[in-house]
Structure 1
Amino acid sequence: MNADTSPNTAPSTSQPVDPSQNTSAETMLSVRDVTLAFGPKVIQHDISFDVKRGSIFAVMGGSGCGKSTLLKSMIGLLRPAKGEYLVGTENYWAGGDQDRVRIGRRFGVLFQSGALWSSMTVGENVALPMQMFTSLKPHTIRQLVELKLGLVGMLHAIDQFPSELSGGMKKRAGLARAMSLDPDILFFDEPSAGLDPITSARLDELILNLRDGLGATIVLVSHELSSLFAIADDGIFLDPDSKTAIAHGSPTWMRDHCDNPMVHAFMHRERTAPTSDGDR
């Protein structure tokens, strides 16, 4: 891929870093010098960070900074123009298709809309990954489906169709499906998008309970400040102008200690100059 590496996209040399981060915990995912591009158009470059076991890691930034593009790349939907993703000690893009499928089974993904199959019941949606990737008996799959739905408070809806669910219920059903194969890492794309404040707060509480009760490691893309402050304990801030990460740490640390003007404006809901690109 012919990625643009012109001087105006040079890496930032003064990225503020939260000094309180726990660097001794086991690393579940390492992003190393990643550049994302569509042909000659660079979206982000020289992105590096580690996601620690049991953390809730947030990819933050305003519209158009490349948050969703980075998430798509982390879950294997977009090959980076440069750099690598290490899942544990395995390089995701170094092997063949079968290796990527095997490593990808360690991921669970909650898409922004829930992405449930409309022709299937909630239970059938949650069962589908087990049917595709395991040799479990139907009665065992049914028991596991009930367990996953019970964890997210959706067991009562096991035989309902997505069209019968509210937005918050669809998110919880999607979360149950994301957990169906007991993944090592859960990826969430704007989990609170489109939800009212009360439903959003309940989803935040559910995410915290999953992290604390199951030891889940979570990577999420979000610009919802209330959710970020409530649940995220680590993260990076992407800048659409320099096209790289300009801060690394918890949202609370960024709000209280990071003096980068763009990060400060975002964390304090201040008006900033609009960027030329739309949201990605």
Structure 2
Amino acid sequence: MTHPDTAPQTLIEVRDLSLAFGRKVIQQNVSFDLKRGSIFAVMGGSGCGKSTLLKSMIGLLRPSSGQILVEQEDYWAQNNRRRTELNHRFGVLFQSAALWSSMTVGENVALPMEMFTKLQPEVIRRLVELKLGFVGMEQAIDLMPSEISGGMRKRAGLARAIALDPDILFFDEPSAGLDPITSARLDDLILSLRDGLGATIVIVSHELPSLFKIADDGIFLDAKTHTPIARGAPRDLRDHCTIPEVMAFMNREATIPSASEAKG
């Protein structure tokens, strides 16, 4: 039994969240807690609203209704200044890594420090070296994004995401476009971010091997009902969930039409 003093603390609470574009409902009745130190997966088929939920959690899309509480502070009820302050607790890795092509890798990683701190250039340079060293990219500090591989760009994006030492990291399809070996190395790096930096991680991904390996909690969003239909670690949902849509997703079923369906 977990002692009360060592029980995981709730870092983020999502309460009765609804997401819509005009009259088009993307998701509704979304509620879950995110425990400190967890790796939380947002799962579901294409078009179910995974990335939309992520955008709402990082401040890019105001929800239609509901709350996102960051340590009991209602994010969307705050003024712009306070939301910006809360955003400094977030690190984000977008699907494409989103590095500035006209800046070196080191300049990309330095940018958040230059924008949001008063550190001297020599201090920022040293911190950039440390962040890149953490992801095994120190040798690329003076290279341009066009001069490095896709996997290296993802790691550079990770270095930038941790530039301000955030305690919450958001990853949107981090393994997209990577070969299996590079993807597995990225999984190990994400685990090291959790274990080495104490970061709490929210990850949107279709990559089941990655989710089974690293995620310890999660939510499954359904595109048909526009609601969450399952909650739990991906491994547990794979092994124990009996909801047909979840079973099909976790076992990669019903993705190819049968011969009779194809003929019809």
TM over 0.5: yes
Secondary structure of 1:264 counterpart: helix
Paired position in structure 2 for 1:101 = 84
Paired position in structure 1 for 2:223 = 240
CA distance in 1 between partners of 2:132 and 2:110 (Å): 11
Paired position in structure 2 for 1:62 = 45
Counterpart contact for 2:145–2:153, Cα < 8 Å? yes
CA distance in 2 between partners of 1:90 and 1:161 (Å): 39
Q: Which amino acid aligns with 1:161?
A: M
Counterpart contact for 2:237–2:250, Cα < 8 Å? yes
Secondary structure of 1:29 counterpart: strand
- Choose the corresponding residue for 1:111, options 66, 82, 94: 94
Tell me by how many angstroms 1:209 deviates. Answer: 1.0
CA distance in 1 between partners of 2:154 and 2:33 (Å): 27
Unaligned runs of 5+ in 1: 1-21, 275-280
Secondary structure of 2:77 counterpart: coil
Secondary structure of 2:164 counterpart: coil
**What is the percentage of aligned positions where both structures have the same residue?**
73
- Choose the corresponding residue for 2:132, options 139, 149, 153: 149
Tell me by how many angstroms 1:89 deviates. Answer: 2.0
Task: Tell which has more relative contact order, 1 or 2 (C-alpha 8 A, sep 6+).
Answer: 1
How many aligned positions are there?
Answer: 253
Q: Which amino acid aligns with 1:49?
A: F
CA distance in 1 between partners of 2:237 and 2:7 (Å): 21
Paired position in structure 2 for 1:128 = 111
Counterpart contact for 2:167–2:198, Cα < 8 Å? no
Larger % of helix: which?
2
Counterpart contact for 1:262–1:272, Cα < 8 Å? no
Q: Which amino acid aligns with 1:62?
A: G
Tell me by how many angstroms 1:24 deviates. Answer: 3.5
Matched, 1:167 2:153: no
Q: Which amino acid aligns with 1:138?
A: P
Paired position in structure 2 for 1:204 = 187
Counterpart contact for 1:31–1:85, Cα < 8 Å? yes
> Structure 1's 273 and 259: CA in aligned 2 closer, same or farther, altered over 3 A?
farther
Counterpart contact for 1:28–1:50, Cα < 8 Å? yes
Secondary structure of 1:93 counterpart: helix
CA distance in 1 between partners of 2:242 and 2:136 (Å): 41
Tell me by how many angstroms 1:273 deviates. Answer: 9.0
Unaligned runs of 5+ in 2: 258-264
- Choose the corresponding residue for 2:245, options 262, 267, 272: 262
Runs of 4+ with deviation above 4 angstroms: none
CA distance in 2 between partners of 1:170 and 1:273 (Å): 33
Paired position in structure 2 for 1:224 = 207
Tell me by how many angstroms 1:191 deviates. Answer: 0.4
* TM-score after normalising by structure 2: 0.94
CA distance in 1 between partners of 2:122 and 2:72 (Å): 35
Matched, 1:92 2:75: yes
CA distance in 2 between partners of 1:171 and 1:98 (Å): 30
* TM-score after normalising by structure 1: 0.88
Paired position in structure 1 for 2:141 = 158
Counterpart contact for 2:95–2:176, Cα < 8 Å? yes
Paired position in structure 2 for 1:72 = 55
